[in-house]
Amino acid sequence: MNRKEIKEQELSLLAKKRKENPELFVREAQVDDQPFLEKIGITLPIQMQKNLAEGYLKMWPQDFIVEEILKDDTIQEVTAENIITNQEPQPTVYATLVKCGLSTIEAVEEMATFLNADKKKIQFAGIKDKDAVTAQMVSFRDIPIDEIQNISSPYFFLKNVHYGKGVMEVGGLQGNKFTILVRTNNAFDREKFLKNINVIKEEGFFNFFYSQRFGSPRFINWFWGLAILKGNYQQAVMSFLCSQGQRETPYFKNIREEIKAHFGNWQEIETILQRFPIIFHHEINVVKYLKNNPSNFAGALNQIPEQVQLWVFAYGSLLFNRKISEYIAEEKPLPAKIPLILSRDKNDWLFYKEFLEEDGISDVPFEGLKPFSFIQWKKRDVKTKERAQIHSVEFINEGVAISFTLPKACYATTFLSHVFELVSGMPPENLLDDAVDLKKTLGEPDIHKTLERFKEVAYPKTHDVFEKFE
């Protein structure tokens, strides 16, 4: 079965469970208010908190468009037009990946399965949002071009397939262009919004790592990274499998309680998880390993290397956020840059000494990372403030359409959190849910053909995905 068929099976089962216990599937609006943000280390200045109007994100996937900008300034566009630029055989095949409803990592896994190839042969520069329409360059090494051109999925397509040299590398981009619709209600104050935008134009915005870094809907992956740094691999696995997320539905919280009750009985846990092979894809990989190696928790974590690296990065990101928030709270001048902890320079760790000691780390914990050779150690100083290049802003019936460019590794939601109190999840009733072609609205070429290709997987948050199965 392909991904769409497996997903349909999952939804059918969830629809049945909802019919039996509807209270376990109640959908709510999720507000990124200050108490939520503090859990991921973010504290905005008090005056800024008072001036934020609510803004709803991602009613439709096409409300959030991301287009990668390469180092040579070329933009990977989400339009469906295909231009073959180079057919002289070379060692590498390049293509623009346009996707909807999948993260970059998931799309790469899907393509590797389709091609029957090692996913390491498919490289990309950065991870793009799942709940969005995105475009980015990917490279394929030692895979025939005709096989690549035959890849097909309701969730993504490839265009501009051509030969080239080298491969895409992590971080090998200049930035990203965002085209976003923030949906607002009748109480939205346009003048206050424009005033906030002008302040950001002049002063920049605090360059926090936003919620995506911490693993929606649970937002606790930083804790698993901390456990790994401390060498407590069993704790990392147990929390990964069993800890309830902040924004998980009660149904899935109950499943995690069930897993906790059977912790150590890997066969039973695998049976529990296999009902949802996509939702629990990474959990299943960990548990399958533990069935044959019940005490090797480090080995189990090695089955999901991309995730483990993200967890360790997430802990470093939490410390970075907390440090900026500390400067803000104490009204101290911000350094232009501060280091991340994933560095072999001990001074970069000492910069966070108080936070590390609070978390039970008294020295640079290189030992904890020894079983994970894939984790990249790299000295890196990150700007504490960044600037957005704002291309256009339009007020429409549905809300605010805005186009802007950010440097690589910056979060669009971080920028937007300085002008909105962001809302996601179940949309408030007073918002319009009409589909909007943002590109056309902002005077750019429309993306009608792209949206037509994603019509099977793109629907508004007001849509009841279980309805057709009931």
| Calpha distance 222→33 (Å, rounded) | 20
Q: How many CA atoms are closer than 13 Å to the CA of 26, on its beta-carbon side?
A: 6
Say what the pLDDT of residue 1 is. 76
Say what the pLDDT of residue 13 is. 96
What would the two tokens of residue 425 be? 């999840």
Residue-wise pLDDT tens digits, 94-114: 999 999 999 999 999 999 999
Percent of all residues in the chain with a pLDDT value above 70, rounded to a whole number:
99
Query: Across residues 320-349, what is the average pLDDT?
Result: 95
Domains within the chain, CATH numbers bracketed? 66-175 (3.30.70.3160)
Say what the pLDDT of residue 87 is. 73
Burial of 411 (0-12, 13-18, 19+ CB in 10 A): buried
332 CB-near residues (< 8 Å, 6+ apart): none
| Calpha distance 276→287 (Å, rounded) | 14
CA angle 396/401/404 to nearest 5° reads 155
Residue with tokens 């390993």: 289
Rounded to whole angstroms, what are the CA distances from 439 to 79, 442, 466? 10, 5, 30
355 CB-near residues (< 8 Å, 6+ apart): 319, 322, 323
Nearest of 66, 102, 137, 124 to residue 411 by alpha carbon: 66
Residue-wise pLDDT tens digits, 35-61: 999 999 999 999 888 889 899 999 999
281 CB-near residues (< 8 Å, 6+ apart): none
Residue-wise pLDDT tens digits, 224-280: 999 999 999 999 999 999 999 999 999 999 999 999 999 999 999 999 999 999 999
One-letter amino acid for residue 241 of the chain: L
Question: 58-95: b or e for each residue (b if 16 or more CB lie within 10 Å)?
Answer: bbbbbbbbbbbbbeeeebbbbbbeeeeeeeeeeebbbb
Say what the pLDDT of residue 85 is. 65
Tell me: pLDDT of 86 over 70.
no
What would the two tokens of residue 321 be? 């956020």
Residue-wise pLDDT tens digits, 375-419: 988 899 999 999 999 999 999 999 999 999 999 989 999 999 999
Residues facing residue 140 across a β-bridge = 93, 122
Between the two ends of the chain, the Cα-to-Cα distance in Å is 22
Query: Across residues 8-25, what is the average pLDDT?
Result: 95
Residue with tokens 């080239």: 164
Say what the pLDDT of residue 88 is. 79
Cα–chain center distance at 217: 10
What rounded mean pLDDT belongs to the chain?
A: 94
Query: Across residues 363-379, what is the average pLDDT?
Result: 87
| Calpha distance 50→44 (Å, rounded) | 10
Residues facing residue 92 across a β-bridge = 141, 164
Length of the chain: 470
Q: What is the pTM of this model?
A: 0.94
Cα–chain center distance at 281: 16
| Calpha distance 412→208 (Å, rounded) | 11
Rounded to whole angstroms, what are the CA distances from 308 to 84, 285, 292, 438? 37, 13, 20, 36
| Calpha distance 157→108 (Å, rounded) | 12
Say what the pLDDT of residue 49 is. 86
